[in-house]
Structure 1
Amino acid sequence: MLFAAGFGSRMQPLTADLPKPLITVAGTSLLDRTLRLAEAGGITKTVVNTHYLGEKIAKHLENCPVQVLHEPNILDTGGGLKNASPLFDGPAVFTSNSDAIWSGPNPFAHLAQNWQDDCDALLLCAPVNQIIGRAAPGDFSISQDAIVTRGGDFVYLGVQIIRLETVQHIREPQFSLNIIWDALMAKNTLRACLYPGQWCDIGKPENIALGEKLLGTSHV
């Protein structure tokens, strides 16, 4: 599940007439970079949700083997995943943002290698001093046995594996995955694994140059 429905407010003015996933870094859109990583990581089915300027994303993807699911009303991350859940087979899926540049192992393959059946969601994280384009503080703390709690020096990198049943019971159509994560933390079933490479957040226009610099040093 690739989240592409947001307004990209922090990327203004670039997103005034272009959805954030179609912003290019070193000549390739963030959306295409994420889709290529997913395919290389072994993912065979991808659903892309859209809302803001969704027709531009749909046109961009019209010859790609992905399913585009337009949301007439914004549903947020949790609601978006719930809305798309009937399109997936199996108990768990990857979810991903499309606003980052990676240097290192394939994030999807790395997550898959670390998945354990005793958790409900597995977040890909890195210490804040290992990432580019974002300052402290981090999002989470991670215990030695990979249990996640709020607050700390680790940043969520926008990619996870999550069981679909965690969102399917929520009645509201619009909700954040943060609500789900809080519930999983209370049960000690939210886990994390650490990404050994580098990650650049393309959340602001000035971060595009940072992402291009990272790509220049990693040759990908």
Structure 2
Amino acid sequence: MTLRFPVMLFAAGFGTRMGALTQSRPKPLVEVAGKALLDHALTLVAEAGGGRTVVNTHYLGGQIADHLTGRDVAISHEAPDILDTGGGLRNALPLLGQETVMTLNTDAVWAGPNPLTQLDAAWDPDRMDALLLCLPKENALGHKGEGDFIATADGPAQRGPGLVYSGVQIIKTGGLWDIAEDAFSLSVLWSDMIARERLYILPYAGHWCDVGHPAGITLAEEMLETHGSV
């Protein structure tokens, strides 16, 4: 199978929750089970048959560029300011080359079916402007909170305590051009889609671990040992 959409990997953040681990290296290059977080994400893309792939950078972006030397991955560097997820995605659209794209956070590790393949198979552009992959809280290791989205069976989603957003989605990006700010979260676009009943969620049956903080490294490695990698 080949993915129908280009993939945007978010890798520009400062990684402040990682403390000393990110004082001299960007969070996407922190290793879990001997492999950089960025490479865990790129493996998902490759195994799903992904094509055009773009990584955004800002903090210590030169290290990520060096890490990707020789690979068929485009870099969207954000300077002088970081643009957040919405601004970053809009900035990378010329490199992505399509209006509908997949996005994937690089600070998580997965154990189970390929999340990109699952999303691609469930995408229905006639009903959806975005499809977000989410998990029950018990399968979202390292995540603190009450969840992000709720939905009736096969219906549009609303914000609320329920499933946890995994950082993986398919999204139509046309609405990004209507937002005046340079730096903004994709949550702004989601709010408009929710109001129009065009945002959907897809439950994920496997396991996922947030590696945005040091304790997440151990949790992720234990998860991979117990459940296996994707």
Q: Same fold (TM over 0.5)?
A: yes
CA pair 219-155 structure 1, distance change in 2 beyond 3 A: closer
1:49 aligns with 2:56: yes
User: 1:215, CA displacement in angstroms?
Assistant: 1.0
Q: Give the gaps of 5 or more residues in structure 2.
A: 1-7
Q: Percent identity?
A: 48
Q: Give the gaps of 5 or more residues in structure 1.
A: none
TM-score by length of 1: 0.97
Which runs of structure 1 show a deviation greater than 6 angstroms over 4 or more consecutive aligned residues? none
Q: Which of 176, 190, 207 is the aligned partner of 1:181? A: 190
TM-score by length of 2: 0.93
1:106 aligns with 2:109: no
Which residue of the partner structure matches residue 5 of structure 2?
none
CA offset digits 1:1-47 (Å, max 9, x no partner): 11100001111111111100000000000000101101111210111
The range that moved more, 169-178 or 119-128, is 169-178
Q: Which of 50, 73, 98 is the aligned partner of 1:90? A: 98
User: 1:88, CA displacement in angstroms?
Assistant: 2.3
Q: Which amino acid letter does the alignment assign opposite residue 105 of structure 2?
A: N
Q: CA RMSD in A?
A: 1.1
Distance 1:132 1:23 in 2: 18
CA offset digits 1:128-147 (Å, max 9, x no partner): 12221113311111221231
Which residue of the partner structure matches residue 171 of structure 1?
180
User: 1:164, CA displacement in angstroms?
Assistant: 1.8
Q: How many pairs were matched up?
A: 220
Which residue of the partner structure matches residue 146 of structure 1?
155
Q: Which of 89, 92, 107 is the aligned partner of 1:81? A: 89
The question of whether the paired residues in 1 share the 8 Å contact of 2:87 and 2:182 is answered with yes
CA pair 69-76 structure 1, distance change in 2 beyond 3 A: same
